[in-house]
Homo-oligomer: A and B are copies of this chain.
Amino acid sequence: MARTAPVPSAVPDSAGAFPVTVDVVALTVRDGALQALVVDRLLEPYRGRAALPGGFVLPDETLEQAAGRELEEETRLTVPAGATGTGPWHLEQLRTYGPLGRDPRGPVLSVAYLLLAPAFGLPAAGGDAAEARWVPVGERSAGLAFDHDGILADGVERARAKIEYSPLAAAFCPPEFTVAELRGVYEAVWGTQLDARNFHRKATGTPGFLEPTGRLGGGGPGRPAELFRLAPGVDPTATVLHPPLLRPVSPGPGAPSA
């Protein structure tokens, strides 16, 4: 028996409809340290307070589009289209927070994103942001607005974990880089010192990780280093390091948590 086209039910009246924001944990490595992008809020709530860049998702845009738009509006930094999986930038979803209890204006759901990028120019404030700047992660400062301290901590931990198994650390490097630069990224993200000789052996000996360019870097004192690029066609979040390059376990309570 032929059936007519089904008529979609409506969204139930009882369903909540929540404003949704995107908040971006943008991380880079500058001056040998892991740094996060923050902006000062121009509007209440939390006016004058530092916060992660972000804002409300508009109807008819995707979460990723909203993330890119808010970042560009508030910092003048531009996420290249399709950052995930291409180019030096890497954008991925982190986690969803709320909706209850995190915004004085009422329930707001926040879908947080993690953005990793090479060091780039100073951001310039715009949109709802008064000032945009890079701040070293871990520096003790006044708390961020909303629940952004927790979101930032989650983003940092995600980055720390992912570079154990994937070539994602290269997202902090320009397209061509030396092994010492890559090691510097690991040291900044993990806050540890790594042995140059062991790191070099592991990085260059792992299939599917680095590809030599055939050229040399240098300019400073010391032997000029070979330049590498990420092996072509590799998903930066794929499990390429297998076995992984494990971050040193700090003595004292607790192995790193997932």
Q: A: which residues have CB within 8 A of B?
A: 6-12, 14-20, 43-45, 47, 56-63, 93, 95-96, 98-100, 104-109, 111, 161-162, 165-166, 208, 235, 237-240, 242-244, 246, 249, 254-258
**Copies of this chain in its oligomeric complex:** 2
Q: What residues of B have a CB within 8 angstroms of the CB of A208 in the complex?
A: 255
Contacts of A12 in B (CB 8 A): 56
29 intermolecular pairs with C-beta atoms under 8 Å apart? A6-B44, A6-B47, A7-B44, A8-B105, A9-B45, A9-B105, A11-B106, A15-B20, A15-B56, A16-B19, A16-B20, A17-B17, A20-B99, A57-B99, A60-B100, A63-B99, A96-B111, A162-B258, A208-B255, A238-B257, A239-B257, A239-B258, A240-B255, A242-B255, A242-B256, A243-B243, A243-B244, A243-B246, A244-B244
Q: How far is B20's CA from A15's CA once the two chains are assembled, in angstroms? A: 8
Q: Are A57 and B16 in contact (CB under 8 A)?
A: yes
> Is the beta-carbon distance between B257 and A56 smaller than 8 angstroms?
no
Give chain B nearest CB distance to A103 CB in angstroms. Answer: 8
Q: Dominant SS at the A interface?
A: loop
**Are B19 and A59 in touch, CB under 8 angstroms?**
no
